Amino acid sequence: MHPNNTLFVGKVLLRYPELPSTNAYFQEWLSRERPAEGAVVQADHQTQGRGQMGQSWFSPAGKNLTFSTLFYPSFLPPHKSFLLTKVVALATRQAVAEITGENAWIKWPNDIYLNDKKIAGILLQASLQGSRLQYAIAGIGLNVNQTHFPAALTRASSLALLTGRIYDLDDLRNQILAYLERWYLQARAGELTTIDQAFLEHLYLRHQPARFQRPDGTVFTGSIQGVDAVGRLVVQRDQTQESFDLKEVSLLEAVHSDKN
Ligand code: BTN
């Protein structure tokens, strides 16, 4: 059941039929002890799954992957914490691409897309101690064998729906954990160029005209160039480049030449 090709990620692996949230589980655990780096907590069902920006993450029991991995990235100053987002997104993307045989994309800041649909979300929760990152909990929710989605979630899908196959959850989780360790060790070794390049290479809709929306509802067209040093999205609009953080913009869709 544990991945057999890792040094530390997934060596401690706790699996529960039901938990409120695997990220919350680690927060509580960390308030009492210092679990081993690379420890993984997986739930077959979460009753209070958390998403980005205070949202909830719903996943039916036994169909999908919902798990969290613990890191102690003391080598990273807090303003570089986006590197961890890259690490987790790259690992998830790579495992999905390998297992499905399809190209998967990282939708900024940390969703995974397959065929223009969201199949996974990442929730990274880090804690500071002085000027260093004390710990980081990397939560991954990957829709694998779920075949029905609420109609309101127009962009959500799963590997099963998109590829017509059913996947073994343990194999997929182990593959993600193996890649998580690889990318994390690269980050720790300071191989940032490799990570940045891979992130750019797999960034969803990079260099393609797309529509974006500001929090006030206004919509504009631009094209993603990449991310800046602190992980803000860099968008080219006419002759200027603008950087946005998570609360400042959302990416709506690609602008296809047959539209407008
Ligand atoms: C998103 O909003 O896209 C991020 C979703 C992250 C969900 C995962 S499931 C495992 C971990 N535990 C949680 O409560 N959330 C994350």
Domain final position from 201, 217, 238: 201
pLDDT score of 176 more than 90: yes
Is the C-beta atom of 3 inside 6 A of ligand 1? no
pLDDT: is 249 or 44 the higher one?
44
Q: Do 144 and 249 belong together in one domain? A: no
CA of 167 to the centre of ligand 1 (A): 20
List, as one string, the DSSP characters of 6-41.
-SSTTSSEEEES-BS-HHHHHHHHHTT--PPTT-EE
Q: How far is CA 66 from CA 10, 45, 53, 75, 86, in A?
A: 14, 8, 18, 27, 19
The CATH number that applies at residue 213 is 2.30.30
| Best of 21, 22, 47, 50 for a ligand 1 pocket test (most atoms within 8 Å of beta carbon) | 50
Residue 90: give the domain boundaries: 13-201
CA of 236 to the centre of ligand 1 (A): 30
pLDDT: is 57 or 253 the higher one?
57
List, as one string, the DSSP characters of 219-257.
EEEEEEEEE-TTSPEEEEETTEEEEE-GGG-EEEEE--T
pLDDT score of 257 more than 70: no
pLDDT score of 1 more than 50: yes
Is residue 260 in a domain?
no
Looking at residue 258, what is its pLDDT?
56
Looking at residue 75, what is its pLDDT?
92
Is the C-beta atom of 110 inside 6 A of ligand 1? no
Q: Based on the structure, what is the number of domains in the chain?
A: 2
Q: Do 98 and 217 belong together in one domain? A: no
Q: Do 162 and 190 belong together in one domain? A: yes
Is residue 2 in a domain?
no
Q: 10 near 37, Cβ under 8 Å?
A: no
pLDDT score of 260 more than 80: no
Is residue 155 in a domain?
yes
pLDDT score of 201 more than 70: yes
CA of 141 to the centre of ligand 1 (A): 5
CA of 140 to the centre of ligand 1 (A): 5
Is the C-beta atom of 123 inside 6 A of ligand 1? yes
Residue-wise pLDDT tens digits, 82-139 = 999 999 999 999 999 999 999 999 999 989 999 999 999 999 999 988 888 999 999 9
Q: Do 90 and 73 belong together in one domain? A: yes
Residue-wise pLDDT tens digits, 12-38 = 999 999 999 999 999 999 999 999 999
Q: 62-66, 104-108, 238-242, 248-252: lowest mean pLDDT where?
A: 248-252
Q: What is the pTM of this model?
A: 0.95
User: In whole angstroms, what is the distance from residue 12 CA to residue 70 CA?
Assistant: 10
Coil, helix or strand at residue 168:
coil
pLDDT score of 60 more than 60: yes
Is the C-beta atom of 103 inside 6 A of ligand 1? no
DSSP 162: H
Is the C-beta atom of 143 inside 6 A of ligand 1? no
User: In whole angstroms, what is the distance from residue 109 CA to residue 125 CA?
Assistant: 14
The CATH number that applies at residue 143 is 3.30.930.10
User: In whole angstroms, what is the distance from residue 98 CA to residue 202 CA?
Assistant: 14
User: In whole angstroms, what is the distance from residue 2 CA to residue 249 CA?
Assistant: 39
Q: Do 170 and 58 belong together in one domain? A: yes
Is the C-beta atom of 22 inside 6 A of ligand 1? yes
